[in-house]
A and B are shown apart, each in its own frame.
Chain A
Amino acid sequence: MNIIETEMLTKRFRRYKKQAGIAGSVKGLIKRDYEEITSVSELDLNIKEGEFVGLIGPNGAGKTTLVKMLTGIIAPTSGKVSVMGYYPNDLKNDFKQQYAVVMGQKSQLFFDLTVEDTLRLFKEIYGIPEAKYQSAKNFFIKLFHVEELMNVQVRTMSLGERMKMELIVALLHNPRVLFLDEPTIGLDSVASKQIRGFLREINEVKGTTIILTSHYMEDIKALCSRSVVINHGSKIYDGNTEQLFERYQKHKKISLTFDAPMELPEIGFGVSMISETPYKKVMKVSREKASELLSFLMKFNPSDISVEEEDIGTIVERIYGEEGSSPDEIS
């Protein structure tokens, strides 16, 4: 059963284009030039209950706008949208009772108080009976290992701890759908990994449908069996995440740091050097040859090595570049 359905969903914004300088400002008083921005364009999307779907795309692709339309925060310009059978922008209480949204850049916690205090308020907002509230709270405290943080002032917590608390607050009323907009933004790799682990468990144990927007490839790869790639508001890929990366993520970026100046010999492996200084070398190599190259590079005793996946921008470019491909064909 589809829990989310959109058909030709479109959102356009109008923005004022001001000419530079005082003359432009004066002209703007009399006549204004506006340009229309299509943030989401004729998007069709169906998501089944219990799915864990990744919405990927570079900055400004339209991911957040799509989430805002699905949660009812903003109204679509045209097209159809249904989430759990509701038109989101009607903002019906029954609808809002069944989903939660976590925005990586917006907090719903009271910074000067403890999480326990915030939870109490949300208990009333969602009308959760005391027994249910206690049991849900204890479940998440155990899952997130945050017993000792419940009575600590939020402002004294690390970013990773705060994100765990944001998730607890969002999940307290046991939503059917959880929208996550860049939940790991700014987190270090350890905290990101922890958050990913919790999200996976919530999806599996509670059967919560999760829609995750991120431009961190690691999040999507680790969590989402299905990915939807959006660029310039249009869907350019909708399908299996593994296949997406298999097909379009062709290279890895390897960075080496040395304690002393290092001159590397001719490396081979089809490597292309991205940047090079006596102390640091950054190179790109095909995924197949990455492990072989790493073994070779270890011979030069680097003080630090990092291996990164290609970013979403490169993947989008590659999807576009694929000869004769259209969104329908690649999905």
Chain B
Amino acid sequence: MEFKRNIRVIKALIEIRFQNLMMFRLGFFGPFFVDGSLFLIQLMVFQAIYSNVDRIGTWGRGEMIVFIGTFSMINAINMVVYFFGINGLPQKIKNGDLDLYLTKPGSPLVRMTFEKINPGSLPLVGMSVLIIAYGIHQLGKPISGVAIAGYLFWIILMTILFYEMEVIIRSICFFVLSNANVTRIEEIGLELCMKIPGIVFYGGYRLLFCCILPYGIMATLPVQSLIGELSVLGAVYGILLTIIFTIITRGVWKRGVRCYNSASS
């Protein structure tokens, strides 16, 4: 029942978002150009970094290209589906705009997640697919259907983990006035883990980027699964970590809503 309602609401939110975006033609078409350009700049940075490097850890050029495509893909899904909705949460908490979400049936988080989908970032998904395909070609070995299915499973799981990280970081505003410094750590962590695969992290960095802020595993696990390098232990770790972060997200959100004090009128 609740699931069906959520699906209906998500459909209505997507429709209303499209209608909203289409009210302004430049606003609708602009992001396709802007996001595409930013993506090309990012590719040039990767090109500059990896053109003179043959291997990183056990990974060669093909694996690295698949890795870059995979991180871009997860990030692009994030940008298309939920980033702009979830990113507005701190402001809604500060301004008391969450009031109207809390008083409506259904989950306020579901509504916020899907209310600002951004079709302008869709080309990024397409470009990421192209990079991944090129990377697979560079690998020079056949990839089975099972490996692709496993890869897609990990993409979905890591997208959920990415979403949970975003919700947790932004929910900090329920408890403190500003989460600006934490979002900076998020930005820096993402930027680093987008360029360097999780397999090269050791010691404290491994703890930080594979456990506390697990951006280091987000593209690494899907690639390891695709190329047949993912151990059973690694797979169990990835699934467990996602479950743990789901529980943490749920707890932080519920506690946050209880602590919510709105804003004076």
Q: Which residues in A have some Cβ–Cβ distance to B below 8 Å? A: 13, 64, 68, 71-75, 89, 91, 93, 96-97, 99-101, 103, 105-106, 108, 110, 112-113, 117-118, 120-127, 153, 181-182
Q: B residues bordering A, Cβ < 8 Å?
A: 2, 5, 8-9, 11-13, 15-16, 19-20, 23-24, 96-97, 99-100, 102-106, 111, 257-258, 260-262, 264-265
Flag if B105 contacts A93 (CB, 8 Å): yes
Give the chain A neighbours of B258 by CB distance below 8 A. 75, 89
Residue in chain A with minimal CB distance to B100 = A108
What 12 additional pairs, Cβ within 8 angstroms, besides A64-B264, A96-B103? A68-B99, A68-B262, A93-B106, A97-B105, A103-B99, A103-B100, A106-B96, A106-B97, A113-B16, A117-B16, A121-B12, A125-B106
Please state if A106 and B99 are interface contacts (CB–CB under 8 Å). yes
User: Are B102 and A103 within 8 A (Cβ)?
Assistant: no
Between-chain CB contacts (< 8 Å), 24 pairs: A13-B261, A72-B103, A73-B99, A73-B103, A73-B260, A73-B262, A74-B261, A75-B258, A93-B2, A93-B105, A97-B105, A101-B100, A103-B100, A103-B265, A105-B265, A106-B96, A106-B97, A106-B99, A117-B19, A120-B12, A120-B15, A123-B12, A125-B106, A126-B104
Which residues of chain A are within 8 angstroms of B20 by Cβ–Cβ distance?
Answer: 110, 112-113
Closest to B27 in A: A112
A72, A105, A121, A181 interface centre (most CB from chain B within 10 Å): A121
Taken together as a complex, chains A and B put the C-alpha atoms of A52 and B23 apart, in Å, by 40
Chain B residues, Cβ within 8 Å of A99: 103
Contacts of B24 in A (CB 8 A): 112
Tell me which residues across on chain A come within 8 A of B257, comparing CB atoms. 91
* List of B residues within 8 angstroms of A71 by Cβ: 102-103
CA distance A110 to B19 in the complex (A): 11
Give every chain A residue within 8 A of B15 (Cβ-Cβ). Answer: 120
Contact among B12, B100, B260, B262 for A124, CB-based, below 8 A: B12
Cα A75 to Cα B255 with chains together (Å): 11
* Interchain CB contact under 8 A, A96 and B265: no
In the bound complex, residues from chain A placing their C-beta under 8 Å from that of B103 are 71-73, 96, 99-101
B5 touches A121 (CB 8 A): no
- CB < 8 Å neighbour of A113 from B11, B19, B265: B19
| Cβ-neighbour of B23 out of A13, A68, A113, A181 (below 8 A) | A113
Instruction: Answer whether A96 and B105 are a contact pair too, CB < 8 Å, given A112-B23, A121-B13.
Output: yes
| A125 and B9 in contact, given A91-B257, A108-B100, A120-B16 (Cβ under 8 angstroms) | yes
Q: In the assembly, what is the distance between CA of A122 and CA of B12, in Å? A: 9
Question: Which residues from chain A contact B23 at a C-beta distance below 8 Å?
Answer: 112-113, 153
Separation of A127 and B1 alpha carbons in the complex (Å): 10
A110/B260 contact (C-beta < 8 A), A72-B103, A105-B265, A124-B9 known:
no
Residue of A nearest to B7 (CB): A124
Q: Which residues of B contact A101 (CB under 8 A)?
A: 99-100, 103
**Interchain CB contact under 8 A, B8 and A124:** yes
Residues of A within 8 A of B97 (CB): 106
Which residue of A74, A113, A121, A153 contacts B260 across the interface (Cβ within 8 Å)? A74
A121 to B111, CA, bound (A): 11
Q: Given the interface contacts A73-B99, A120-B16, does A125 sit within 8 Å of B105 by beta carbon? A: yes
**Residues on B with beta carbons closer than 8 Å to the beta carbon of A73:** 99, 102-103, 260, 262
Contacting residues, chain A, for B9 (C-beta < 8 A): 121, 124-125
Question: CA–CA, A6 to B106, complex, Å?
Answer: 26
CB contacts (< 8 Å) of B12 on chain A: these are: 120-121, 123-125
